[in-house]
Amino acid sequence: MILERMPSPVGELVLLEENGTLIGLAFGHRWARVHADIERHRGRLPHLGRGETRARPLLEAYFSGKLEALSEVQWAVKGTAFQEQVWSSLPRIPVGQTWSYKELAAAVGRPSSVRAVANAVGANPVSIAVPCHRVIGANG
């Protein structure tokens, strides 16, 4: 596993990859919580080596304006079945568009589970790469 810290226009990011696949991405100040969530679903992580991740150049491209670069990031996440369903739906939100939590809940077939969807979005272990930032409250 490779752990990398990178500067970005939105603050320091921490990236965690396993065999070239992104399994964790968080803002530096939120890394401890994301790390704990990853270990809860995957078990204790082995020694984390330092190095350059495959995701970094794609994130740099994204931050330089190539918004489609996120679609090239290889990622794999583990959570509850419901969380995984929500997370796998996030990349379906078109670049440059937003959905409300209500729209996302309908898209995953759980229209009355808006709060649960919001909680799953908030627990996204690979934020930015899996675009939870495209989901907003109904009031904008």
User: Which residues are marked as active site?
Assistant: 132
- Would you state the structure tokens that stand for residue 128, as one six-digit string? 């930015």
Q: Three-class SS of residue 73?
A: coil
Q: Three-class SS of residue 14?
A: strand
Where would I find the H helices in 69-126?
A: 81-89, 101-107, 114-122
State the DSSP code for 78: -
Q: Cβ contacts of residue 42 below 8 Å, gap of 6+?
A: 23, 78
Q: Cβ contacts of residue 25 below 8 Å, gap of 6+?
A: 13, 14, 15, 16, 34, 55, 125, 126, 127, 128, 129
Q: Which residue is it, tokens 């670049």? A: 95
